[in-house]
Chains A and B, each alone.
Chain A
């Protein structure tokens, strides 16, 4: 009975399970960041060093804002920062913003995302909207000119890609970078040329979805498959979104004439499709939570993305679609509970009052 008498040798009341798995939020978030690397690499290759500078700058702002918000909220700064969740938001915004986005644009987007989008709602796990997309939409609406200034996908033979150029473009006075519309822009603005003529007129867009964009999307797809393999998230949301885009793009393709909306392949591999499917809408906090819910959530995003691309006012719509579906997520959750063991059917909706 030395056990009870010397007291110190035993801990009090630990609840089962007594041993936990090795999973941790930090691990999940680190894997996410790791999985963005192929995409980041592809963006650096095709759009220059701006993307890398952007990502680093955005992460720095994100960490700073998080530390500030945590201090104001009197929460443990170190342990919360170490869960890496805010770094993910920073990385995603850095990847989503145009490569030569000026420093203040990133500052506005990221600080809004972290302070308003995340901490005002109560911090990690409490935010109803995807913080990165909130920040993105804010600057997209407020600064449309800066936000549409994408660089031409020059690739390795490009000349405006030096690190110095990127730094001065972002933090300095800016350089005379040749800004250029993205393939989605070109297709949207087009009303007279057939697809073949259009592609010939813009040789830089050869390939299925424009040279750079195709590879960037494939890189994000690779990163996403890696995350699926590591079971960071389930396949439901990405498959829902990609399937919905494919179906919509097939239904409303309208061939290759001048009123074409582009082929399904074009839509799958251009713009932010893959980044959105695997890195944005898989954010568990603001998405639906059951497997079936995630499938519906993803499909909703896919449909809205296509609607915006084909008939809306913006060339791409991943950010808007994500926010709209974020609003629908709680309702989706209520109607997509899985069928519990031993029950005939799944419970739906709200609990009945008496």
Chain B
């Protein structure tokens, strides 16, 4: 206890309080009693093509191919994407949809690798001194290594490192505020030097002046290890370990920035707009291994915990290892298992199958008993007690969002800044009526995104239709002009011919005009003043209008259609 207070006292830097927040039971001690272990090589590895935020990777291997450990098996497609590497040597046995770690329980395309047990590495290019290379080349190495954020969000790391904005501060996130999870804690205890080395490389790549390593004060061993490693490193003067009080969700990117710098990431912007980039401690290790050792991201530290396991702890896992392989290793008591959760108890999701593979973002698997994660009680009525608003780290009004979500009032939801909700679950945690608030927000966000996508699509097709009409009108106008020009030329030629013929008496032009007017009058007198046009005639008349008139008319029509359809319009 004493050591802990000393550690906190020794961090002199000013820190800012988190808005709101809750103190759920930590349950971290169960998985920190053992050092990071390893598991035997599984017979098959299942590698989802989409393990990161962005477009899925494209396979570059075929079924039956023999691959070496670390070999590229799927390349990044598009800018926001990440490649995939073989976590072990073996044969590609299938490329097919398999269940992936996702709350939907859906299957997605995966590369299935049958391991051969040889663990034979492909050739790796190591670097002795990364400072000899320009930062861009190092970022390319990170991109090629398939590193995506390992704290849980899975955003491709290279993109964060090449925003083009000038970065002042690098923040290394060692907060790990979610209960149960200890992967980062154990990583900091055991591989502090690697983390510092990774942070140094990241700092070099970003050209950041300072590097802050944020750790909650409930991890005294990790803090000690990190302080020791930092004091032994060359960049002790450019880095600082900042310790702050434990509260959930201080490890959220926006929240940690607020705690360490007092700044808020403007809504809809990125930390890079403030000159800040944040990386998880696990990502720092992966970056070091990618740049210095040339190793792609093929393994990670995952916490295996929950009361249904006899030997909870942390293990170094090859990406693609099925959950049941790990759980058996950790002594799963099948009869005890009530809920299997990927991630932490606050933000993780439950899965229904045991054959789900570990991905790059899987920091924790909780095999919980029924009494540990009891079934949520039936929700009661919201009494607007406001406890949720006190707990919300984003200063939202969860109780109002709930009412509007229930009423499907999307305008009000946007007005109440629904999309600033980080889905941390603090509101639902404190709710005395046990209302699944976060689920309401997720569902509403989904509906709004769908509506907006539809809106964009219809706007786009409307614009396409209008430009097509304008193009057609222009074409026919050009044709008309050509025709008139031709007619005029013909008339001129005819007139010239007539002039050439002698003996034709010139008509008096005034008399001729009067006669023409008379003839016109006589012609119109016999007809009704206005004829009801048939649809076909209307269309004809419409197509004979000038392009400008036609557009005007179309707009009027589409305005009427819009009124009729009354589609919900979002965003001003």
Given A14-B373, A14-B376, A289-B399, verify A3-B354 contact (CB < 8 Å): yes
Does B417 have its Cβ within 8 Å of any Cβ on chain A? yes
Q: Once bound together, how far apart are the Cα atoms of A85 and B382, in whole Å?
A: 12
- Asked whether A333 is an interface residue with its Cβ less than 8 Å from the other chain, the reply is yes
In the complex, chain B residues whose CB is within 8 Å of the CB of A17: 24, 345-347, 425, 428-429, 438
Taken residue by residue from 358 to 369, chain B's Cβ proximity to chain A (1 for < 8 Å, 0 otherwise) reads as: 000000001010
**B155 vs chain A, min Cβ distance (A):** 18
In the assembly, what is the distance between CA of A339 and CA of B22, in Å?
20
Per-position 1/0 for B67-107, Cβ under 8 A of A: 00000000000000000000000000000000000010100
Does any Cβ of A come within 8 Å of B395's Cβ? yes
Task: Provide the A314-354 mask, 1 if CB < 8 A to any CB of B, else 0.
Answer: 00000000000000000001000111111110010011111
**A54 CA to B411 CA in the complex, in Å?**
47
Among B50-58, B127-135, B261-269, the stretch that binds chain A is B261-269
CB-CB under 8 A for A352 and B420, given A18-B341, A342-B254 = no
A144 contacts the other chain (CB 8 A): no
Q: Mark A231-274, 1 if CB is under 8 A from B, else 0.
A: 10110000000000000000000000000000000000000000
Q: Is B414 an interface residue (CB 8 A)?
A: yes
Indicate if the CB atoms of A1 and B267 lie closer than 8 Å. Answer: no
CA distance A352 to B571 in the complex (A): 9
Interface size class of A (residues with CB under 8 A): 35 or more
- List the A side residues contacting B436 at CB < 8 Å: 15
- Say yes or no: B24 contacts A21, CB within 8 Å: yes
Whether the pair A343, B420 counts as a contact (CB closer than 8 A) is yes
A18-B373, A285-B383, A342-B254 as given contacts; A23 in contact with B430, CB under 8 Å: yes
Give B419 Cβ to nearest chain A Cβ, in Å. Answer: 10
Tell me whether B385 is interfacial, beta carbon within 8 Å: yes
Write out the residue numbers on chain A whose beta carbons fall within 8 Å of the beta carbon of B399: 289
B258 close to A (CB within 8 Å):
yes
Q: Which residues of A contact B417 (CB under 8 A)?
A: 340, 343, 347
**Is there an interface contact between A340 and B383, defined as CB atoms closer than 8 Å?**
no
Cβ proximity bits A1-23 to B, threshold 8 Å, 1 near / 0 not = 11110000111111111111101
- In the complex, A185 Cα to B23 Cα: how many Å? 49
CA distance A19 to B24 in the complex (A): 9
Return B373 CB to nearest CB of chain A, in Å.
4
Is chain B's binding surface mostly helix, strand, loop or mixed? loop
Between B374, B385, B389, B569, the greatest number of chain A beta carbons within 10 A of the residue's beta carbon is seen for B385
Which 4 pairs between the two chains have the least Cβ-Cβ distance? Answer: A125-B381, A351-B415, A17-B425, A3-B354
Which residues of the partner chain A approach B454 to less than 8 Å between Cβ atoms? none
Q: How many residues of B contact A (CB 8 A)?
A: 81
**Interface status of A148 (Cβ within 8 A of chain B):** no
Q: Which residues of A contact B (CB under 8 A)?
A: 1-4, 9-21, 23-28, 79, 83, 85, 123-126, 231, 233-234, 284-285, 287, 289-291, 294, 333, 337-344, 347, 350-354
Choose from A4, A14, A25 the contact partner of B383 (Cβ within 8 Å): A25
Q: How far is the CB of B39 from chain A (nearest CB, A)?
A: 17
Is B572 a contact of A10 with CB atoms below 8 Å? Answer: no
Q: How far is the CB of B293 from chain A (nearest CB, A)?
A: 36
Report the minimum CB–CB distance from B369 to chain A (whole Å).
11
> What is the chain A residue whose CB lies nearest that of B421?
A340
Shortest B566–chain A CB gap in Å is: 12
List the count of A-B residue pairs having beta carbons below 8 Å apart: 193
Contact B569–A354 (Cβ < 8 Å): yes
Q: Are A21 and B429 in contact (CB under 8 A)?
A: yes
Point out which of A20, A24, A287, A354 has the most chain B C-beta atoms below 10 A from its C-beta.
A20
Give chain B residues whose Cβ lies under 8 Å from the Cβ of A83: 380
Q: Which residue of B19, B389, B411, B420 contacts A289 across the interface (Cβ within 8 Å)?
A: B389
Q: Which residues of B contact A20 (CB under 8 A)?
A: 376, 428-429, 431, 434
Asked, given contacts A4-B353, A289-B397, A340-B417, whether A284 binds B384 with beta carbons under 8 Å apart, the answer is yes
A351 to B569, CA, bound (A): 12
Q: Which of B143-151, B331-339, B485-493 contacts A (4 or more CB under 8 A)?
A: B331-339
A289 and B430 alpha carbons, distance in the complex (Å): 16
Q: In chain B, what residue has the closest Cβ to A336? A: B397
Mark each residue of chain B from 526 to 567: 1 if its CB lies under 8 Å from any CB of chain A, else 0: 000000000000000000000000000000000000000000
A126 contacts which of B264, B381, B395 (Cβ < 8 Å)? Answer: B381
Per-residue CB contact flags for chain B residues 309-342 toward chain A (1 = under 8 Å, else 0) read: 0000000000000001000000000110111110
Q: Is the Cβ of A3 less than 8 Å from the Cβ of B340?
A: yes
Which residue of chain A has the shortest Cβ distance to B428 in the bound complex?
A: A17
B348 touches A (CB below 8 Å): yes
| B352 at interface, CB cutoff 8 A | yes
Contact between A79 and B429 (Cβ–Cβ < 8 Å)? no
Enumerate chain A residues within 8 angstroms of B384, measured Cβ to Cβ.
125, 284-285, 287, 289
Chain B residue at minimal CB-CB distance from A82: B380
Contacts of A11 in B (CB 8 A): 338-339, 350, 375
C-alpha spacing A287/B400, complex, angstroms: 13
Instruction: Add 11 more A-B contacts to A342-B265, A342-B267 (CB < 8 A).
Output: A3-B340, A3-B353, A16-B423, A21-B22, A23-B387, A124-B383, A289-B384, A289-B386, A289-B397, A343-B417, A353-B411
Q: Is the CB of A1 within 8 A of B412?
A: no
Q: Which of A15, A26, A290, A294 contacts B439 (CB 8 A)?
A: A15
Residue of chain B at shortest CB distance from A349:
B415
Contact of B337 among A10, A291, A333 (CB under 8 A): A10
| CB contact between B354 and one of A1, A294, A338, A354 (< 8 Å): that residue | A1
B433 contacts the other chain (CB 8 A): yes
Contact B353 A351 (CB under 8 A): no
Chain A contacts of B425 at CB under 8 A?
16-17
Q: Across the interface, do B254 and A341 meet the contact criterion of CB distance under 8 Å?
A: yes
A220 to chain B, nearest CB (A): 20
Give the docked Cα–Cα distance between A67 and B423 (Å): 37
> How far apart are B30's CB and chain A's nearest CB, in angstroms?
14
Residue of B nearest to A27 (CB): B432
Q: B372 to chain A: which residues have CB within 8 Å? A: 19
State in angstroms the CA–CA spacing of A287 and B384 once bound together: 9
Q: Pick the contact of A18 from B345, B400, B411 — CB < 8 Å?
A: B345
Q: How far is the CB of B504 from chain A (nearest CB, A)?
A: 68
Known: A16-B425, A234-B390. A124 touches B375 (CB 8 A): no
